[in-house]
Structures are given as structure tokens and as C-alpha cells.
Structure 1
Amino acid sequence: MPRTETKPSARERILAAANELFYREGVQTVGIDRIIEHAGVAKASLYNTFGSKEELVRAYLESRHASTIERITRAMARFRTPRERLLGVFDAQGELFTDPAFNGCAFVRASAETTHGSSVEHSADEYRAWVRAMFTGLAEEAGVADPESLARQLHLLYDGAGLSARMDRDPSASTTARAAAVALLDAAPKVPTQRRSD
């Protein structure tokens, strides 16, 4: 018996349309009518599922966040040592920059288009907190004495590489950021070997 393919749900189609259109054109530029037309659903389906455009934007950002976690986690799994994993984040970022559809950081773009205190800003804040925590954890695993300080520096490199790759249309920005990360990691004071919890 031939296998029948399951049609994506209205929610999945709306999120896929939002992901494509919001990322390519911006959250304020794209209206609800464009989303429902692209998704092939009724307007009522969008409002019954998400309630408002702001909630759809929040769901879009949550989806981007989950994709980023999955992409970076998968990339880090290729590396064995804490140092390699930390630097591997920049390798994963570089792979993203070579995608012809790369259009910068979805969180930076969406938060630039929203008001202070919105759920969109909150989603962007959660994403940024995750990035900082990821770098802090990786710096800790690498034996850095002040992982929070190094994480702040690495986060700035990560953000700067993303902006440079987008604005300068230069995918090699991640290579430059990775080289700077190597220098920062090498210069960072380390926890004495006997104090490390391996």
C-alpha cells in the first residue's frame, strides 16, 4: 500500500510562511494577509492559532531560537575538546553565513522593529541570554578562570561577525571572529589544573 504524506498543519504552514517572509523582508513589512496567502490558510486559522501578529512574531522567533540551538549543538558534537567546541560555534556561524538566504540575525532585526517591553523583545532577550550562557558554559569547560568575562567578549565577537557578514556581505567574518576568539581564549587566565572539576 502506498504511503500517504501527511499535510502540514495550519500552524506549521503559518510558521513556515512567517519564517520565510519575516526573515527575508522584516516583521513590520510583512502583513497578516501576506502570511495567510503564502501559507494557504484562512485568516481565522491564524488568529485562532496565534491570537495576534505579535504572538506570531514571538512564535517565529522561538522557532528560530530552537533551530539555532539544534544547529549549534549538532556542530559542537563534531568536536572532542572543550576548546574545539567553543571555537566550533564560530565554525557553525560561518556555515550559516554561506547560505544564500542568510539575511542577518533574525533577533536583531525583529527587535529593531518592535517597541520596548514587547513579547518580541522578550524573545530576543531569551535568545541572547542563551548565547551568553552557552559561551559561559563552554569557557568554563575550557578551564577559563573568569568564564563570564570571556563569554561577554565572545558574545560580542559572535554578534559582530553576524552584523559584518550581513552588512558587508562577507561570509569570512566568522573566520576573523574565530581568530579573535582563539586569541582571547589563549590570553584568558586558566583555572589551575588541580582545581578544575573534570
Structure 2
Amino acid sequence: MSDTGQGATGPVRRRPARERLLSAAAHRFYADGVAATGIDTITTEAGVAKKSLYNNFSSKADLVRAYLEARHEEWRGLYRARLEQAEGPRGGVLAVFDAYADHAAFAYERGFRGCGLLNAAAELPAGDEGRAVVRRSKEEVEALLAGHLADLLPERPEQARVMAEHLAFLLEGAVARAGLEGDDRRLRRARALAADLLEQM
């Protein structure tokens, strides 16, 4: 299959096979689940031969890990965009919540199904490297909250740490409920609760 197509002004370069495979995997893994999505489904949607998948990824497990890392990086981009608009440490904390809501608002094929990382981790066996990727992602989110709270409460580091854990729990609970209900209302409510807590500090 050629990597070029014909556009209105001449040949148009198609995306690299690795990029198309990751895009197809992200689409199908989120919509259908990791276990239910076979390699043939991904290569068909990506428009590449099966050999191309194994030229780019050593196994399906390797593709799953790449998907998880890419999804977290996608969230990081949403967070950075929100952070640019945030004012002070309180705004930084709320930027974390806003980035989750932004992720939930994407036009998913079957609607919002909750955190793609946790959904995938629930299907992976204990000890799988994919679960470690998800754990690192969640630890990073809590660390971001802790950093903003440390700036807000420089004289009370222990309170900042405890509050970061509290808000991380609030966020994860909200995303789980939002996934069950298929929209971002719980995330918006969690953001409002977080804002109220911050105002009390």
C-alpha cells in the first residue's frame, strides 16, 4: 500500500504507519477494550499490513503500552493548555480537573467510557508493564496536584500532601462515575467541589 495519496494540489503524504497504527489502536482499545480488539482489527482500520505492525511494535503488549503512554501524553497536552490560562496555584489545581473534563468531552465513538488508562489496566494481568505505565501516570497527576498545593501552602507541606491525595481520590472517583454515566457532569461537579475546598484554605 502506498504512503502517498492524490490531493487537490498533487500528492499528499500519508501519516507514517506507526502513527496510523497507534491512532487505530487508541480508537478501538477505548471503544471496545484491549482484550476484545485483535491485531487484524487494528491493521485493517490503520490500512496497513500485519507485517507493518510487527515492524513497529514487538507485540500486541508493546502496542498497548505505546497506546497508554500516548493517551497520557494527550492528557498532558490538555493540562499544559489549561495551565497556560490558569492564575496562581489554585488555578493550577483546577487545571488538572479541567484537563480531565476536556478529555471526557472528546467525540468518542461510543461516548465517554471513563479513564482509558484504568479501563485498560483492569484488563491486564498483575505485573504487566502496561499497569506500571498507568500507575506512573496516576502518580504524576497526584504529584502535579501536590506541586500546586505546595505553592499554595508553603508553610504547611503535610497539609498540602494530604490535600493532594484527597483531590486525587475525588478526581478518580468522579472520572469513574462519569464513565458509567457517559458524560462529564461528575467531573464538572468534582471541579466545583475542589474549588470550594481551595477557597477554604
For structure 1, the residue ranges without an aligned partner over 5 or more in a row are 189-198
Partner of 2:30: 23
Q: Distance in 2 between matches of 1:170 and 1:80?
A: 27
Is residue 144 of structure 2 the alignment partner of residue 137 of structure 1? no
Worse-matched range after superposition: 144-153 or 36-45: 144-153
| Equivalence map 1:43-82=2 (5 Å) | 43-82=50-89
Matching residue's letter, 1:128: K
Amino acid at match of 2:38: G
For structure 2, the residue ranges without an aligned partner over 5 or more in a row are 1-8
Task: Show the counterpart of 1:147.
Answer: 160
CA contact (8 A) 1:150 1:185 kept: no
Is the CA contact (8 Å cut-off) linking 2:75 and 2:99 kept in structure 1? no
Tell which deviates more after alignment, 52-61 or 123-132: 123-132
Mapped partners of 1:129, 1:89: distance in 2:
13
In the alignment of these two chains, the number of paired residues is 187
TM-score (norm 1): 0.87
Question: CA offsets, 1:32-89, max 9 Å, x none?
Answer: 1101111111111111211100000000001001101011111111112211221232
1:93, distance to aligned residue in structure 2 (A): 2.3
What is the Cα deviation at residue 26 of structure 1? 0.6
Q: Identity of paired residues, percent?
A: 35
Partner of 2:125: 115
TM-score normalised by structure 2 residue count: 0.86
Q: Does 1:163 align with 2:176?
A: yes
Match of 2:170, as an amino acid? L
Which residue of 96, 100, 113 maps to 1:103?
Answer: 113
The Cα shift of 1:187 comes to 4.4
* 2:140 partner letter: W
In structure 2, give the amino acid aligned to 1:92.
A
User: Structure 2: how far apart are the matches of 1:11 and 1:177?
Assistant: 36
RMSD: 1.7
Cα distance between partner residues in 2 of 1:69 and 1:90: 12
How far apart, CA to CA, are the structure 1 residues paired with 2:102 and 2:17? 31
Equivalent residue number for residue 21 of structure 2: 14
Distance in 2 (CA, whole Å) between partners of 1:164 and 1:72 is 21
Whole-angstrom CA distance in 2 between matches of 1:4 and 1:86: 46
Matched, 1:87 2:126: no
Whether the aligned pair in 2 keeps the contact of 1:139 and 1:151 (CA below 8 Å) is: yes
